[in-house]
Structure 1
Amino acid sequence: MPTAIQKMRKTRAAFHAAAALFTAGALTFGLSGCTSYDTTAPSGVRADRSHTDAKNAGASLGTVDCRKAKCVALTFDAGPSEHSARLLDILKEKHVPATFFLLKNHIAKYPELVRRMEREGHEVASHTWDHKILTDIDDALIREEFERPDDAIEKLTGKRPTLMRPPQGRTNNHVSELAEKEGLAQILWSVTAKDYTTNDSALIRKRVVDQTKRDGIILLHDIYKGTVPAVPGVIDELKAKGYVFVTVPQLFAPGKAEPGKIYRP
Structure 2
Amino acid sequence: MPVNARIRRSRTLFAVGTAVAAVLAVAVNLALTVTTYDHTSPRAARDKASGSVGGNVDCRKAKCVALTFDGGPSLTTPRLLDILKQEDLHVTFFVQGKGHIAKYPEILRRMSDEGHEIGNHTWTHKRLTDLGVADARRELTRTQDAVEKVTGTRPVLMRPPEGRTNREVSEICRDLGLAQVLWSVTAKDYETTDSALITKRVLDQTRRDGIILLHDLHKGTVPAVPGIIRALKQRGYTIVTVSQLLAPAKPQPGMAYRP
**1:43 corresponds to:** 43
Does 1:204 pair with 2:198? yes
1:10 to partner: Cα distance: 11
Q: Secondary structure at the match of 1:236?
A: helix
Q: Does 1:62 align with 2:63?
A: no
How far apart, in 2, do the equivalents of 1:83 and 1:109 lie?
Answer: 13
What is the aligned partner in structure 2 of residue 185 from structure 1? 179
Q: Tell me what 2:84 maps to.
A: 91
3-state SS of paired residue (1:223): coil
Structure 1 29/238 Cα, relative in aligned 2: closer, same or farther at 3 Å? closer
What's the offset of the Cα at 1:45?
A: 1.2
Give how far 1:90 is off: 0.2
Deviation at 1:31, TM superposition (A): 2.5
Distance 2:166 2:59 in 1: 28
Aligned to 2:32: 31
Q: Of 224, 227, 231, which residue of structure 2 is paired with 1:233?
A: 227
Structure 1 match to 2:170: 176
Shift of 1:172: 1.3
Q: CA deviation at 1:23?
A: 4.1
Per the TM alignment, residue 20 of structure 1 is displaced from its structure 2 partner at its CA by 3.7
Cα distance between partner residues in 1 of 2:25 and 2:217: 42
Which of 252, 255, 259 aligns to 1:261? It is 255
For residues 128 and 250 of structure 2, the distance between their equivalents in structure 1, rounded to whole angstroms, comes to: 24
Does residue 146 of structure 1 match 2:146? no
CA shift at 1:103, angstroms? 0.4
Q: Deviations over 1:233-258 (max 9, x none)?
A: 00011101111111000000001110
Residue 16 to residue 71, structure 1, CA distance change in 2 (3 Å):
same
Could you say what the CA RMSD is over the residues aligned between the two structures, in angstroms? 2.2
Runs of 4+ in 1 over 4 A off after TM superposition: 8-19
Given the alignment of the two structures, is residue 79 of structure 1 paired with residue 72 of structure 2, yes or no?
A: yes
Deviations 1:9-44 (A, max 9, x none): 9998899678646643553244324x6445311111
Identity of aligned residues (%): 59
Amino acid at match of 2:32: L
SS of structure 1 residue aligned to 2:248: coil
- What does residue 119 of structure 2 align with? 125
For 1:198 and 1:17, locate their aligned partners in 2 and report how far apart those are by CA, in whole Å.
42
Deviation for aligned residue 1:110:
1.1
1:100-115 paired onto structure 2 within 5 Å: 100-105=93-98, 106-115=100-109
Q: Report the Cα distance in structure 1 between the residues aligned to 2:18 and 2:105, rounded to whole angstroms.
A: 62
Q: Distance in 1 between matches of 2:146 and 2:58?
A: 32
Q: TM-score, normalised by structure 1?
A: 0.88
Mapped partners of 2:67, 2:16: distance in 1: 54
